[in-house]
Amino acid sequence: MTATLRVGILVFPGSNCDRDCHYAVTQVMGGRADFVWHKEPTLPQVDAVIIPGGFSYGDYLRTGAIARFSPVMAAVTRFAQAGGLVLGICNGFQILLEAGLLPGAMLRNRSLSFLCKDIHVRVENTATPFTSRCKPSQVLTLPIAHGEGNYYADQATLTRLKARNQVIFRYCTEDGKVTPEANPNGSLDNIAGIVNDTGNVLGVMPHPERCADALLGNEDGRLILLSLLDAIKRGRYSPKPVLAS
């Protein structure tokens, strides 16, 4: 009998995907989900942390800019630096960028529109705790819902991300071609998701938790959640540079 896996789900004022993530952890991953209020200075004993989507602090100043100074983020930073698994989705990705746990920043969507639709992403690296169940170059259909998903990094950072295979998802056409037309928001190099240089922190703009149940008509998000489940089961993920796939 193995111990139940436990996932901490951060809750900021303005988070709105926290309950979807709770459902994904308990119903899809079969684990226990603990909401962690942003004022908590420490994390409970968890195997992974999810920073859910939403509009923390009303997106005031910049998306994620104020949330990153919440007490819980200091605990998440320690957890991540010790090799803990952290998944930031949408606003969670924006918070990870502002917190410096992932490199780069988010700009307004090129169109200035809030985009809420299904898009396609190509899995660029399957040797991560978040994509091990995917096939190389597999195309996933996932929903996006954001106004600021236009990823930006300077040239040196982009070069480093690419050299270390830290770009995990790229916006693509239905048949897997990474083209400017398939880029919904103007994101640099069609980037939809990246990991940190030790591979244990993923930021992703599309929402895997919103497409992980047959009832919703799309289960592609399960691959990401179940990869995370596998990584937890394999034992604590030991930080190491992301390997070339």
Helix (H, G, I), strand (E, B) or coil at 157: helix
Nearest-angstrom CA–CA distance, 132 and 114: 31
Residue closer to other proteins, measured from CB, 102 or 212 = 102
**Is residue 61 at the binding interface for other proteins, with CB under 8 A as the rule?**
yes
Q: Is 60 in the site for other proteins (CB under 8 A)?
A: no
Task: Note whether 107 binds other proteins by CB under 8 A.
Answer: yes
CA distance 142 to 135: 16
Residue 74, classified by CB atoms within 10 Å of its CB into exposed (0-12), middle (13-18) or buried (19+), is middle
Torsion of CA 57, 61, 63, 67, to 10 degrees: -50
| Residue from 13, 35, 65, 81 binding other proteins (CB under 8 A) | 65
In the residue annotation, 90 being an active-site residue is answered as yes
Question: Tokens 């639709």 identify what position?
Answer: 117
| 98 vs 209 by CB, closer to other proteins | 98
Q: Which of 30, 39, 58, 69 binds other proteins (CB under 8 A)?
A: 69
Single out the catalytic residue among 38, 120, 146, 207. Answer: 207
- Catalytic-residue membership of 211: no
Considering the rule CB under 8 A, would residue 186 count as an interface residue with other proteins? Answer: yes
The rounded distance, in Å, linking the Cα atoms of 22 and 15 is 13
Q: What are the residues whose beta carbons fall under 8 Å from the beta carbon of 23, sequence distance 6 or more?
A: 209, 213
Choosing from 21, 90, 134, 211, the catalytic residue is 90
CB neighbour burial string for 174-186, b if at least 16 within 10 angstroms, e if fewer:
eeeebeeebbbbb
Residue 112 contacts other proteins per CB under 8 A? yes
**CB 63, min distance to other proteins, A:** 10
Angle at the Cα of 147 (from 7 to 54), degrees rounded to 5? 30
CB of 110 or CB of 135, closer to other proteins: 110
Taking the complex as a whole, the smallest distance from the CB of residue 162 to other proteins amounts, in Å, to 18
| Residue 243 in contact with other proteins, rule: CB under 8 A | no
Q: Are 201 and 86 in contact (CB under 8 A)?
A: yes
Q: Does 102 bind other proteins (CB under 8 A)?
A: no
Contact by Cβ (8 Å): 119, 207: no
Segment interacting with other proteins, rule: CB under 8 A, options 17-25, 59-67, 128-136, 159-167: 59-67
| Contact between 149 and other proteins per CB under 8 A | no
Q: Is 105 in the site for other proteins (CB under 8 A)?
A: yes
Contact call for residue 74 and other proteins (CB under 8 A): no
| Residues found near other proteins in the complex (CB under 8 A) | 61-62, 65-66, 69, 98, 104-105, 107-112, 152-154, 186
Show which residues are catalytic: 90, 207, 209
